Amino acid sequence: MMVYNQATADDYAQLLALNEAAIPAVNRIDTGELEHLHQQCEVLLTARQGDRLAGFAAGHGARAQDQAVSVRPQLLVQRAA
């Protein structure tokens, strides 16, 4: 069963690893860029199967104040292989 939760800073290492595994379909980001994205997002969700991070989704809208976070949303959703 997939369980969805709000992401926290404790999830960043796993989120970055999942993102890194999806390159070149997504851009490489570092912890600072992920923190900035998280602050700008309306929602940043994790999807877990047991203890394994299976994916994540970021959604931003009115709060997104800079164009750097206005990336193609479909690329922000990743699934672990």
Give tens-digit pLDDT for 41-66.
Answer: 888 999 999 988 988 888 876 655 55
Which residues lie below 8 Å from residue 62, measured CB to CB, with a gap of 6+? 42
* Helix or strand run (H / E) with residue 56: strand 52-59
Q: What is the CATH number of the domain that holds 13?
A: 3.40.630.30
Handedness of CA 19, 23, 70, 47 (dihedral sign): negative
Query: What total number of domains does the chain contain?
Result: 1
User: Predicted confidence band at 32 (pLDDT cuts at 50, 70, 90)?
Assistant: very high
> Residue 29 belongs to what domain range?
2-79
Q: Are 75 and 26 in contact (CB under 8 A)?
A: yes
Which of 37-41, 61-65, 74-78 has maximum average pLDDT? 37-41
Higher-pLDDT residue of 24 and 78 is 24
